[in-house]
Structure 1
Amino acid sequence: MKNEPLAYRMRPRTLDEVIGQKHLLAPGRFIHRMVKAKRPVSILLYGPPGTGKTTIANALANTLNLPFAELNAVDAGQKDVEKIVADAKMQGTTILFLDEIHRFNKKQQDYLLPYTESGLITLVAATTANPFHDVNPAVRSRCQILELKSLEPSDIEQGIERALADAERGLGKYSVRLDSEALRHFAEASGGDMRKALNAVEIAVLSTDPDDDGTIHITVEIAVECLQKKSLSSDKNGDGHYDLLSAFHKSLRGSDVDAALHYLARLIQSGDLIGLSRRILCVADEDVGLAFPAATSHAIAAIESAERLGFPEAQLPLSKIVMELCLLPKSNSVTTAIGRAMQDVETKHVGDIPVHLKDAHYASAKKLGRGVDYKYPHNYPEGLVEQQYLPDALVGTQYYHPKGLGQEKQFAERYAYIRSGGKAKPKSD
């Protein structure tokens, strides 16, 4: 239809056209194998909006050349499902795409069970909610549960460029000059949502008057207006956004809660959840480190919560982990320790592994002296025994220099005790 939005018109017709989700679609991955075997099975897709749930369902039906039906659980009723089942009995195996399945009540979900069990209906269900909380266990047990991930900016750029080049379904009939800064803004500020990005591009093209030569010139200012998201940076070289990420990271490292929240708000405004998440995880490992080792699992939980919730609610778990990371004691001993070890490996002749540490799990190992003099620590008090672990060239090397802050204080005492051969008793004992 003439008024169909660009994202709808550009929806991939086959799985080969789908952008992103390589963890499911690449050769050897689950959906690729299912298609290769020509054995459709019911699947439950969950993930953020605009990541391709409807797209995959349509493309799967086209690739397998099967009848396709589509319902949205928000407005579909029992009679709608019954009609699809009746049609499937005449047409044969049918792929039913059921969007927002979590909005179906238990009775409605249960109605599909015998037909998915028999294979008459191949259910492709979709939800933005956690299926383990909101989908009937009986339905879950009959589906492969597949998580879709937010698209990368490079994926969004690929989709935009494809739409601009496609004269049949896209915007190829227009002469469009899209500035690189505008393309980057559409890709990064859309939050991994292809639908949002494509529809914003279409608005930009259709609402911008052409230049004298007939070219429609889309600037970053136009992109900001059409996506209704502030520009990631006024710096046209893109440095400003990385400056923002850097300031955020350094404020976390410096334990300045207020500054970190300020930069967090600006990053939320930009929609760069991926860059934001990477910095949060990096701070947990690099800057908090052994002072509070559980910071990493806390950060992962917060990021997963943010991804499930989507914005604006995602700002709550993000704010909580940012404040926690600021207030925790800091130690970069993990970073410096592996840095020293890597430098030795890259710049020194480190020598051979001590023979008593070498693999001895084969018949002739003892003839080579391998593992013969190895002392099994569990056979000694406190699991400690004096024996050489480092290569000869590195004996006595100390990579780990504990800071002794937070929980690392106990690790520091234990480390000193180990290095002393059990002579420097930990104070905590």
Structure 2
Amino acid sequence: MKPLADKIRPTCLEDLVGQEHIIGEKKLMNRIIASKTLPNMIFYGPSGTGKTTVANILAKNSHKKFYKLNGTQANTDDIKKIISQIGTIDSLNGILLYIDEIHYLNKRQQQSILEFIENGDITLIGSTTENINFSIFKAILSRCITIEFKELTVEHIIKSLKRAISIIKEEKDIEINYDASALQYISEVSSGDLRRALNILELIVNTYSLYDSQKIFIDIEKAKECSQSKIMNYDRDGDGHYNLLSYFQKSIRGSDPDASIHALARLVESGDLTSICRRLLVIASEDIGLAYPQAIVIVKACVDSALQLGLPEARIPLAQATVLLSTLPKSNTAYKAINAALNDLRVLDVGPIPPYLCDTSSNIAVHNKVKYLYPHDYPNHYVEQQYLPNPIKNKTYYEYGRNKFEQSIKEHWGKIKNKSPR
């Protein structure tokens, strides 16, 4: 018995919800169908957003022999069998090969079809939920256009649920009514995944029709019972992981405590305690830095507490660190300084360390005639001498930030260095 998601799968672009950036009058997918020329394509984006459906619709309109593989199950022999059909009567118009979850194919398997998509014997459509820059072989990627499928909105999913209810009513000859809040709830807990929303709807219908085969009312209680809990779109090895951590850091950097706490809540809900702690420690030095040097100390204490406590209690010290960092003054002067210094090491001839700054027992120091000036022997524990190597002696890596702490340091050294003996 087909699942509901397959039963109501659209057979034309007009019935598809979402993806308005590529589907609609004069949009990319419509133009591809109208042109009757099918390019090699890689579809990427979250689950349940219509990638397989669009591939099926394109196949229907292509007049090519259509083969479908799933990367989780396909092996090299499966690919060879399809290649063997090139030039046969069935494939005179060419072969369209759709590989779902293409990122599961290894490099050798992806390479096995390279020659055939190069000469046009096979037109490839691949779909993936992973970052295409890391999961797809570069030679394949360069021969395909890449098309993003975006997460569906709650409104998109509600529209599809209503369509599904109409189809079920006709198929089962059953009266189905619903509370709007129930469809809203199902759509929200599905996190942009239409397939999950349809599975919840199907579960409600199949289990409650046992009690009354003529009539079902879908209310919020039934929706909650059959959906159980919201599934976060979060993959620790995929884009979702890095996008969420980026959102977390940028919200803190932007001094928005509300967005920062929201981002933290998403991370806490995913259970990824290690990534939260690492990112907070980075932020304390990268984004707050010398504007409030004690930030790293406080954050380290919060992180240690969180790791010792574990979730769910860990959320409390993590929230303390997050609110603190998002409300503190910001400075990235240390971050910029080290990046500039590293860049010079990679692109410039920076020269050797000044010999008088080498270890006093080294050959270089022993044979050096320039004496090292010991700062503690001078007033204010400072004496002017050259510390940078000659080729970069006039370089400035650190610029004082415009915050209270760094400006106080600038003022302090300005008074001392202007008066220091040479």
Q: Per-residue deviation at 1:158?
A: 1.0
**Following superposition of structure 1 onto structure 2, how do residues 13-412 of structure 1 map, counting pairs within 5 Å?**
13-90=11-88, 91=91, 92-166=93-167, 173-209=173-209, 214-229=214-229, 264=266, 326-330=323-327, 409=403
- CA distance in structure 2 between the partners assigned to 1:329 and 1:14 by the alignment: 48
User: For residues 327 and 71 of structure 1, what CA distance do their matches in structure 2 show?
Assistant: 50
Q: For the Cα contact (< 8 Å) 1:14–1:63, is it kept in 2? A: no
State the distance in 1 between where 2:115 and 2:37 align: 18
Instruction: From the superposition, tell whether residues 202 and 407 of structure 1 become closer, same or farther in structure 2 (CA, over 3 Å).
Output: farther
Seen in structure 2, the aligned counterparts of structure 1 residues 47 and 207 have a Cα distance that, compared at 3 Å, is same
Q: 1:324 to 1:117 in 2, by over 3 A?
A: farther
Instruction: Using the TM superposition, name which of 90-99 and 183-192 deviates more.
Output: 90-99
CA contact 2:174–2:213 (8 Å) conserved in 1: no
Q: What is the root-mean-square deviation in Å for CA atoms of aligned residues?
A: 4.3
Q: Give the aligned length.
A: 280
Amino acid at match of 2:70: N
- When residues 204 and 104 of structure 1 are mapped into structure 2, their CA distance, relative to the original with a 3 A threshold, is same
- Superposition deviation, residue 64 in structure 1: 3.0
State the TM-score, normalizing by the size of structure 1.
0.56
- Alpha-carbon separation, structure 2, partners of 1:427 and 1:24: 59
Residue 428 of structure 1: how far off its partner (Å): 11
Unaligned runs of 5+ in 1: 232-248, 270-289, 293-317, 333-405, 414-425
SS, match of residue 328 in structure 1: helix
Is the 8 Å Cα contact of residues 46 and 129 (structure 2) preserved in structure 1? yes
Q: 1:183 is matched by which residue type in structure 2?
A: L
Deviation of the 1:173 alpha carbon: 3.0
Provide Cα deviations, 1:185-232, integer angstroms capped at 9, x if missing partner: 11111011111110110110111147879320111111112122269x
Tell me the SS of whatever aligns to 1:87. coil
The CA deviation at 1:324 is 7.2
Q: Secondary structure at the match of 2:48?
A: coil
Q: 1:86 to 1:263 in 2, by over 3 A?
A: closer
Conserved? CA contact 1:224–1:230, under 8 Å: no
Larger radius of gyration: 2
User: What is the deviation of 1:166?
Assistant: 1.9
C-alpha change, 1:83 and 1:322, in structure 2 (3 Å) is farther
User: What is the match of residue 362 of structure 2?
Assistant: none
Contact in 1 for aligned 2:98/2:125 (Cα 8 Å): yes
- Give the distance between the partners of 1:173 and 1:407, measured in 2 at CA: 72
Distance 1:27 1:35 in 2: 12
Q: How has the CA–CA distance of structure 1 residues 115 and 328 changed in structure 2, closer, same or farther, with 3 Å as cutoff?
A: same
Q: Secondary structure at the match of 2:140?
A: helix
Q: Is the 8 A contact 1:291 1:408 kept in 2?
A: no
**Structure 1 residues 56 and 88 mapped into 2: Cα distance closer, same or farther (>3 Å)?**
farther
How far apart are residue 157 of structure 1 and its match? 0.7
Secondary structure class of the residue paired with 2:17: coil
Q: 1:35 to 1:181 in 2, by over 3 A?
A: same
Q: Cα–Cα, structure 1 residues 9 and 160, in superposed 2: closer, same or farther, change >3 Å? A: same
Distance of aligned partners of 1:67 and 1:328 in 2 relative to their CA distance in 1, 3 Å threshold: same
Displacement after TM superposition at 1:159 (Å) = 0.9
Amino acid at match of 2:161: I
Displacement of 1:8? 1.1
How much identity, in percent, do the aligned residues show?
Answer: 30
* TM-score normalised by the chain length of structure 2: 0.56
Following TM superposition, by how much is the alpha carbon of 1:84 offset from its aligned partner in structure 2, in angstroms?
Answer: 1.7
Letter aligned with residue 45 of structure 1: F
Shift of 1:329: 4.8
Tell me how far 1:44 sits from its aligned partner: 0.6
- Describe the shift of the 1:213–1:122 C-alpha distance in structure 2 as closer, same or farther (beyond 3 A): closer
Q: Which residue number in structure 1 is paired with residue 382 of structure 2?
A: none
1:126, distance to aligned residue in structure 2 (A): 1.1
**1:330 Cα shift?**
4.0
Residue 37 of structure 1: CA displacement? 1.4
8 A contact 2:40–2:143 mirrored in 1: yes
Distance 1:320 1:79 in 2: 54
* Preserved CA contact (<8 Å) 1:42 1:144: yes
Deviation at 1:71, TM superposition (A): 0.4
Q: What is the Cα deviation at residue 89 of structure 1?
A: 2.4
Sort the Cα spacing of 1:217 and 1:82 in 2 relative to 1 into closer, same or farther, 3 A.
same
